[in-house]
Amino acid sequence: MESQTVIDTQTLQQLEDEIKNELTNILKNSNFGEVLEKYGISGQNILKLQCLLDLTQIEVSDAVDNQQANKFLQTIKGQNTTVKTFSIGGFCKPCPVPGYPSGCWVA
């Protein structure tokens, strides 16, 4: 049987927070400032990213108590929540934080 996972509400929030942190770290090391500068673009929160977690892809693990998994899946179905959307800050050029002449991501 293939490996499957289920996530309770608290763990789902922790997952979302970790994804945001990872994406923010990646974005902080990006060259978006140079790209925007090349086209003469500047401003506050001029570039924002939005992520989607597709909850329809969450499946039950053999290692997880089936009652717990079923309760979580029923909660998701009851809320008609199939996609969880969250945003990752915004890119600012000039950066409000000193030391970032090319701009920065602000959470």
Q: Examine residue 92 and state whether it is found in any structural domain, yes or no.
A: yes
Q: What is the 3-state secondary structure (H, E, C) of 4-61?
A: CCCCCHHHHHHHHHHHHHHHHHHHHCCCHHHHHHHCCCCEEEEEEEEEEEEHHHCCCC
In a domain, 84, yes or no: yes
3-state secondary structure (DSSP) of residue 1: coil
Is residue 74 one of the residues assigned to a domain?
yes
Whether residue 72 lies inside any domain: the answer is yes
Q: Mind listing the pLDDT tens digit for each residue in 23-60?
A: 888 888 888 888 888 998 888 888 888 888 777 776 65
Report yes or no on 4 lying in a domain.
no
Q: Residue 26: inside a domain, yes or no?
A: yes
The span from the CA of 72 to the CA of 60, in Å, is: 10
Domain assignment of residue 1, yes or no: no
Number of structural domains the chain divides into: 1
**pLDDT tens figures, 52-99:** 877 777 665 554 556 666 666 666 655 555 667 777 778 888 888 888
Tokens of 70: 């079923």
Range of the domain at 31: 9-106
- DSSP letter at 70 equals H
